[in-house]
């Protein structure tokens, strides 16, 4: 075994002697991998294919003790640290170059107590792991829209999806969490235990420690929901978007309807002549009795002249995975996102014009309507600050070849700048790419000062900096 060189937080490299590495490995249940060892490349490969970094060392944690050892090792050697949960985050902060990657993906347990309507979930679990275990008992956790997303990053950033309007954000169902802080301690956090830390991790991202277990409240949902797509020609988009804006503003909380604009993929229910042509899709999900769902979705389904309407009863686990084929790992991805209080005509004009110049067949723009239960929580109650009903625009460029990087990224940035005058200034932290560190203070608004103070208390040396970073207050 040779001496290992690994990156430190002050930009140097640290020589880790063989005996120190052996001592580390001896205290772990999981493996500690260096380059060219079996499992190394798999562990460093994440969802966004643009991210190709090589950590100096990867610790694949099998429990909280492994995480504590890894954090102690990083702190003692001043190492750059990246923390991987599901590896789905757009910014790619799960992987660092040359430093220590703490890989939580082996910790993917999900345990459900159906009588108590509770679930205990490991930080390596993905949404499909949670959905399948909870739906076995007719229960659900409000989470995201892509089943391969990791529960850890989703929760720490707030977590919204199809069930948010009815049941709130993912963090609104969080009861407690076990957190390894920068000093290597394992703390239980809840409204009664370490409440400041509990407040901070509900929206503050991975800035304050590494969660080794989540405890969630579950809710009776499913096993079927009324869900599906209504697909329109994009030629109708100008009028349809304005009608959509009005319809969702008086929709019941059980109904969530989002807009997706892109070139039509080769979906089996679409006529072949529409494959590859620009379309506007209404994606909807109703959580409640089917008769109520038919009534609630009627106005939206009667808009325009659809090419296809495939709204009907589906298993919740299947609907949660409906977009997975369009979001498989390995492609190159870049996102830009805004929050809008309402969809002003000027913003819609900019958006529709941009969609007419999509830079690639996998690029898309979606608009999510959120509010309802999440908006009844005070902005200061959790670190997640944007609680009012609003629309979230995500500009999602996706492509395969590096030669298309400049064109796709430039298109996304241009649209982002053109819609900025209509935006609130807030944003969903999980949708922010790695080049938006200048937005962090603004998106947290009045909550930022408290977050910075808590960062100074729990991570004064900013060990956990591979994230949308909140700098510690001095």
What are the DSSP calls for 22-82, one per residue? HHHHHT-SS-EE-TTSTTHHHHH--S-TT-----SEEEE-SSHHHHHHHHHHHHHHTB-EE
**pLDDT number for residue 207:** 97
CB 139 within 8 A of CB 316: no
**pLDDT number for residue 246:** 96
Integer Cα distance of 423 and 420 in angstroms: 5
Integer Cα distance of 44 and 430 in angstroms: 20
- CB within 8 Å of 235: residues ≥ 6 apart: none
Within the chain, all domains assigned CATH 3.40.462.20 are found at 224-437
CA dist 425 → 156, 193, 372, 428 (Å): 20, 33, 21, 10
CA dist 54 → 7, 97, 246 (Å): 11, 5, 49
Task: Categorize the per-residue pLDDT at 474 as very low, low, confident or very high, splitting at 50, 70 and 90.
Answer: confident
Within the chain, all domains assigned CATH 3.30.43.10 are found at 4-103
- CB within 8 Å of 228: residues ≥ 6 apart: 283, 284, 309, 310, 311, 312, 314, 319
pLDDT, mean over the chain: 96
Q: What is the mean pLDDT of residues 414-422?
A: 98
Q: Which residue has the tokens 């979906």?
A: 267
Within 10 A of 173 (CB to CB), how many other CB atoms are there?
24
Residue 3: pLDDT above 90? no
CB 270 within 8 A of CB 308: yes
- pTM score of the predicted model: 0.96
CB 146 within 8 A of CB 88: yes
**pLDDT number for residue 351:** 98
Which fold would CATH assign to domain 110-221+447-458? 3.30.465
The pLDDT tens digits of the residues spanning 328-381 come to 999 999 999 999 999 999 999 999 999 999 999 999 999 999 999 999 999 999
Q: What is the maximum span of the chain, computed from C-alpha positions, in angstroms?
A: 70
**124 Rama class: left (phi>0) / alpha (psi -120 to 50) / beta:** alpha
Task: Categorize the per-residue pLDDT at 85 as very low, low, confident or very high, splitting at 50, 70 and 90.
Answer: very high
Within the chain, all domains assigned CATH 3.30.465.10 are found at 110-221+447-458
How much of the chain, in percent, has pLDDT values that exceed 90? 97
Integer Cα distance of 109 and 130 in angstroms: 9
Q: Is 249 helix (H, G, I), strand (E, B) or coil?
A: helix
The CATH class of the 4-103 domain is alpha beta
Integer Cα distance of 34 and 4 in angstroms: 9
Q: Is 165 helix (H, G, I), strand (E, B) or coil?
A: helix
CATH number of 224-437: 3.40.462.20
The pLDDT tens digits of the residues spanning 158-183 come to 999 999 999 999 999 999 999 999 99
CB 416 within 8 A of CB 427: no
Residue 1: pLDDT above 80? no
Task: Categorize the per-residue pLDDT at 2 as very low, low, confident or very high, splitting at 50, 70 and 90.
Answer: confident
* Length in residues, the chain: 474
The pLDDT tens digits of the residues spanning 274-322 come to 999 999 999 999 999 988 999 999 999 999 999 999 999 999 999 999 9
The pLDDT tens digits of the residues spanning 246-279 come to 999 999 999 999 999 999 999 899 999 999 999 9
């Amino acid at each position: 075994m040779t001496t290992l060189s690994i990156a430190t937080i002050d930009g140097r490299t640290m020589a880790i002697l063989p005996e120190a590495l052996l001592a580390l490995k001896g205290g772990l249940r999981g493996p500690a991998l260096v380059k060219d060892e079996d499992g190394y490349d798999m562990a460093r490969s994440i969802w966004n294919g643009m991210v190709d970094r090589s950590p100096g060392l990867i610790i694949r944690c099998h429990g909280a003790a492994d995480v504590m050892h890894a954090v102690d090792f990083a702190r003692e050697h001043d190492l750059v640290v990246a923390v991987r949960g599901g590896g789905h985050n757009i910014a790619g902060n799960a992987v660092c170059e040359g430093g220590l990657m703490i890989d939580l993906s082996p910790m993917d347990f999900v345990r459900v107590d159906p009588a108590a309507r509770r679930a205990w979930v490991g930080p390596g679990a993905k949404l499909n792991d949670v959905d399948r275990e909870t739906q076995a008992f007719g229960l659900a956790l409000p989470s995201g829209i892509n089943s391969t997303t990791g529960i850890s990053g989703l929760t720490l950033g707030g977590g919204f999806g199809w069930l948010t309007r009815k049941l709130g954000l993912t963090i609104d169902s969080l009861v407690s969490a076990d957190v390894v802080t920068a000093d290597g301690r394992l703390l239980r956090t809840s409204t009664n235990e370490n409440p400041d830390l509990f407040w901070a991790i509900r929206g503050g991202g991975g800035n304050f420690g590494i969660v080794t277990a989540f405890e969630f409240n579950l809710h009776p949902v499913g096993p079927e929901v009324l869900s599906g797509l209504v697909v329109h020609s994009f030629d109708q988009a100008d009028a349809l978007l304005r009608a959509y804006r009005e319809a969702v503003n008086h929709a019941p909380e059980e109904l969530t309807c989002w807009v997706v604009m892109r070139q039509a993929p080769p979906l089996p229910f679409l006529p072949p002549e529409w494959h590859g042509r620009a379309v506007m899709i209404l994606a909807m999900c109703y959580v409640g009795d089917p008769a109520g769902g038919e009534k609630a979705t009627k106005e939206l389904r009667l808009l325009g002249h659809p090419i296809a309407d495939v709204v009907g009863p589906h298993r919740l686990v299947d609907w949660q995975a409906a977009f997975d084929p369009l979001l498989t790992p390995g492609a190159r991805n870049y996102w830009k996102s805004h929050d809008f209080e309402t969809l002003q005509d000027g913003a819609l004009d900019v958006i529709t014009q941009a969609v007419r110049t999509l830079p690639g067949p996998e690029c898309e723009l979606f608009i999510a309507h959120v509010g309802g239960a999440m908006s009844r929580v005070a902005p200061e109650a959790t670190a997640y600050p944007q609680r009012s009903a609003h629309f979230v625009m995500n500009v999602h460029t996706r492509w395969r070849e590096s030669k298309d990087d400049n064109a796709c990224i430039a298109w996304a940035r241009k649209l982002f700048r053109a819609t900025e005058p209509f935006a609130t200034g807030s944003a969903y932290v999980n949708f922010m790419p790695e080049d938006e560190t200048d937005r962090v203070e603004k998106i947290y608004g009045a909550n930022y000062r408290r977050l910075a103070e808590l960062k100074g208390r729990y991570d004064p040396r900013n060990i956990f900096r591979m994230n949308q970073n909140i700098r510690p207050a001095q």
